[in-house]
Amino acid sequence: MAPVRLALAQTNPVVGDISGNLDAIFTQVKLAAAERADIVLFGEMALSGYPIEDLAQRASFLETCEKAVQDFAGRLQDSGLGNICVVLGHPAPAPSDAQNGWAIAQNCASILMDGEVIGKYAKHHLPNYSVFDEYRIFVPGSESLNFTVNGLNFAVLICEDIWQAGGPVASLKDTDTDVAVVLNGSPFEVGKYQTRVDLVTQLAKEAGCGVVYVNLVGGQDDLVFDGSSLVADGKGNLVLEVQSFSESRDVIEIESATKIVASNSRKTVTPDDNAQVWNALVVGLRDYVNKNGFPSVILGLSGGIDSAVCAAIAVDAIGANRVFGVSLPSMYSSDHSKSDAFDLAERLGVQIRTEAIAAMVDVTEKQLGLDGVAAENLQARVRGLILMALSNAEGHLTLTTGNKTELAVGYSTIYGDSVGGYAPIKDVPKMLVWQLARWRNEQAIREGKRPPIPENSIEKPPSAELRPGQLDQDSLPEYDLLDRILAAYIDDRLGRDQIIALGIAAETVDRIISLVDRAEWKRRQGAIGPKISGMAFGRDRRMPITNKFKQH
């Protein structure tokens, strides 16, 4: 029997754009046909985009998806592509006796061939932790699905199914599966790639079958799918590692469970964590901007490191001509904050204009008789008001440049520096912001280009510049200590006593925990931004605002 040629299609769907996504899928099938593929495999929910959240609770949405899958089988047939076996992820209405009024959908993969849907699999294991709410919206499947091509036996699984021991994974041996095809919507997190490689190779070895792992790619709101699709043969050898963060199509040739080769034996060098994170931030921003139809972005450039990094990400994402910077100096702004902002803009090639805030601040301060924190917040709010006015007038998406450390301790002014629809470094702690800035500059040097971020923005002590001589470290611990405490409290979910046991002063720990808890109401009103860590603010960490728990 001829070996089976299987194409892994790593696509970037837009949530809800059924016809647009199908056009892209059709193109992939056509190209794969030209590459003599027998099977084309797409990611989880490639038809609808992922995650669809409560769209899954809308019957009209599910019916549209169901019909689209049926129609698409016909379209393939009519285009002479009916002999290819297409494995496509999509939402579908659950069987009516399994619906419960809230969960009326299933997370499915359909096998399309000869103009028909010849098989449909519903995901068994529904993740309902971290950013996932699948038990909320989906009815779990209970049947396994195998199909045969050229005498080889393929099993279908979806994402979480291979992360849980029981269920479909357990039945791979019983069904004499040669190759498991796994449709995934697995969002990027630092370090997750190696976890996936270990999981896939381990599964292949234990089940004695090939494992083809196809992931989505692209940004969807606060998630970034990194692609990084994988193939392991039945001995647990890694046969193919697809590139991260871009659409692609790779063909493998399968002779048997243990004999799988990548025709185009590309094996990308796994880039380091800094590169991975930078790419995630770039793709997250690019897709939020483009999928939502914004022509351009605007952001305040303070001369500080956060806005510099955000601007550099934006330029890498959508090009300098779509990025607009604004210098918003006050009477407290140092000369270097203005010159560093202009230096940055020049290096990046982005437009920058100056809008001094003094006139607005003065008239407000006088009318209301403000001083102290109220007057400091006023400066930040006038800046926010200017950015939003320019956004309204000129159509830009406003970016807010706060980092994870700032958001954690509430070191920002709500409706001030927090204004904007997207927060590019919201999940990036301050120490990592510096590290990424240095990495990005070194990367430029490696490419023989000018480093985009002014050295001065990286090296100078951080300051909000809301009063004369103010420094962040007047009111916060040193950032390396602060980020350690926050990682312990937020990412590792340690209690107060456990953090103190790491060797950190009790009063510092208490103060930081109190700041984090008290800032919950501000975070709840913050812009979304790309998750890169194991515990991002937002739907990943759901804490009450009203919360009097005293940590210990």
Q: Where in the sequence numbering do the catalytic residues fall?
A: 44, 123, 159
Q: How many residues does the chain have?
A: 552
Smallest CA-to-CA distance from 515 within 406, 362, 428 is with 406
CB 337 within 8 A of CB 304: yes
- Distance, in Å, from the CA atom of 527 to the CA atom of 270, rounded to the nearest integer, reads 31
| DSSP annotation string for 32-61 | HHHTT-SEEE--TTTTT-S--GGGGG-HHH
474 or 497: whose CB is closer to a second copy? 497
Residue type, 475: S
| In the complex, least distance from residue 525 CB atom to a second copy, rounded to whole angstroms | 5
Which pair of tokens denotes residue 394? 């000129």
Smallest CA-to-CA distance from 506 within 515, 496, 518 is with 496
| In the complex, least distance from residue 244 CB atom to a second copy, rounded to whole angstroms | 21
| In the complex, least distance from residue 296 CB atom to a second copy, rounded to whole angstroms | 15
CB 112 within 8 A of CB 85: yes
| In the complex, least distance from residue 122 CB atom to a second copy, rounded to whole angstroms | 18
**Residue 94: left if φ>0, alpha if ψ -120 to 50, beta else—which one?**
beta
| In the complex, least distance from residue 116 CB atom to a second copy, rounded to whole angstroms | 24
Eight-class DSSP state of 270: P
Coil, helix or strand at residue 293: coil
CB 65 within 8 A of CB 26: no
96 or 547: whose CB is closer to a second copy? 547
- Distance, in Å, from the CA atom of 168 to the CA atom of 145, rounded to the nearest integer, reads 9
| In the complex, least distance from residue 440 CB atom to a second copy, rounded to whole angstroms | 26
CA neighbours within 13 Å on the CB side: how many for 277? 24
Determine how many CB atoms are found less than 10 A away from the CB of residue 270. 14
- Distance, in Å, from the CA atom of 503 to the CA atom of 286, rounded to the nearest integer, reads 41
CB 119 within 8 A of CB 110: yes
- Tell me how many helices (H) and strands (E) the chain has: 17, 19
CB 504 within 8 A of CB 482: no
| In the complex, least distance from residue 368 CB atom to a second copy, rounded to whole angstroms | 5
Helix-strand-coil percent breakdown of the chain, rounded to 5? 40, 20, 40
Exposed/middle/buried for 541, CB within 10 Å: 0-12, 13-18, 19+?
A: middle
| In the complex, least distance from residue 326 CB atom to a second copy, rounded to whole angstroms | 10
266 or 524: whose CB is closer to a second copy? 524
450 or 493: whose CB is closer to a second copy? 493
CB 357 within 8 A of CB 379: yes
287 or 465: whose CB is closer to a second copy? 287
128 or 264: whose CB is closer to a second copy? 128
107 or 177: whose CB is closer to a second copy? 107
50 or 245: whose CB is closer to a second copy? 50
| In the complex, least distance from residue 411 CB atom to a second copy, rounded to whole angstroms | 15
Q: Are strands 210-215 and 179-184 parallel, antiparallel or unpaired?
A: parallel
28 or 377: whose CB is closer to a second copy? 377
What CA–CA distances, in Å, run from 479 to 401, 436, 472, 529, 541? 17, 15, 9, 21, 22
Eight-class DSSP state of 534: S
Scanning 118-190, the segments in alpha helix (DSSP H) are 134-137
| In the complex, least distance from residue 350 CB atom to a second copy, rounded to whole angstroms | 19
Exposed/middle/buried for 117, CB within 10 Å: 0-12, 13-18, 19+?
A: middle
